[in-house]
Amino acid sequence: MGPAIWRVLPDSVAHSGTAVTIDASAVVAARAIPPKPTPFSEILELERLLAATWPALETAELGGWLLRYAAGFSRRANSVLALTAPPGGTDAALAAVGAWYEARGARPLVALPGGVAKRLDEELAARGWEAEGRTAVMTKRLEGTAYDGETVVVDAPGAALLEQVGREAPETAARVFGSGPGRGYAEVWRGGELAARGRGAVAGDLVAITNIGTLPAFRRQGLGTEILRALEAWGYEHGARRAALQVEADNEAAIAMYERLGYAERYRYCYRGPS
């Protein structure tokens, strides 16, 4: 029989994540330790804050579910946020959801965040509801670094920004985006054109950063990063101590870029709707 193999992991390492250097000659065996799953409490908190930063034009409560409608502008504002078990059972809840969206001429869609909605996700899949819009939620702790670049942050979305992100419905976009306290719109202008833009919205201690984009002629100049830095600084000035981004899960390049800028993925979500 060979020598006994001992694996020692001090509590300080397990809880703090602090890196410890060990002489290679002292290592008998090793294995990778996966990151801890994000607690359900954190997912629930983030989803409620993110929902507050992206309000629908019309909402309704169904037990612990939030039904949202915004004339088709974005999945987020036109889906059910399901954070609890369905009231009265899945069949009854889906019937109520279907009737509510049918009355508005819309297709029912259910947002399913992380492991919180795992059982409902499986039930909808068994009913033939198809998954779409898989998205990663990434967050970063803000340190209050001052921003001194060319990006300007204003408190109402301008016509050029709404034209770029409004998806041919700028008036609806303006209502979803909102304006005033807790809302910031970052802009970089070049030669009379809105070269790059983004939006920040504060809820609690979180600033949700969305709609970062650069016109094709101005890409690869670092303007997207400038927009992000400006909105982080703006969010900190308005009481946020965390920033959050939502990125399509198959956009590996964007996820890698945000990781380089200090963001870490916390969980993923998807939507399901009837085929």
Q: How far apart are CA 83 and CA 44, in angstroms?
A: 7
Model confidence at 32: pLDDT above 80: no
Q: Among 8-17, 58-67, 141-150, which is the least confidently predicted range? A: 8-17
Going by pLDDT thresholds of 50, 70 and 90, the confidence category of residue 231 is very high
| pLDDT for the residue 181 | 84
Mapping DSSP onto H, E and C, the string for 203-220 reads ECCEEEEEEEEECHHHCC
Label residue 73 left, alpha or beta by phi (over 0 means left) and psi (-120 to 50 means alpha).
beta
Percent composition of the chain: helix, strand, coil (DSSP 3-state, to 5): 35, 30, 35
Spatial neighbors of 258 by CB under 8 A, at least 6 apart, are 138, 245, 247
Q: What is the mean predicted confidence (pLDDT) over 188-202?
A: 96
Q: How far apart are CA 53 and CA 225, in angstroms?
A: 21
Contact between 63 and 98 (Cβ < 8 Å): no
| pLDDT for the residue 275 | 85
Q: What is the pLDDT of residues 129-183, one digit of tens each?
A: 999 999 999 999 999 888 989 999 999 999 999 999 988 889 999 999 988 789 9
Hunting for tokens 């019937």 — which residue is that?
A: 95
When the pLDDT of each residue in the chain is averaged and rounded to a whole number, the result is 89
- Whole-model pTM: value is 0.85
Model confidence at 217: pLDDT above 50: yes
Q: How far apart are CA 34 and CA 18, in angstroms?
A: 15
Spatial neighbors of 249 by CB under 8 A, at least 6 apart, are 134, 135, 136, 255, 268
Indicate the SS3 state at residue 130. Answer: strand
Can you name the residues that pair with 61 across neighbouring β-strands?
66
Contact between 196 and 218 (Cβ < 8 Å): yes
Can you name the residues that pair with 265 across neighbouring β-strands?
138
Contact between 188 and 195 (Cβ < 8 Å): yes
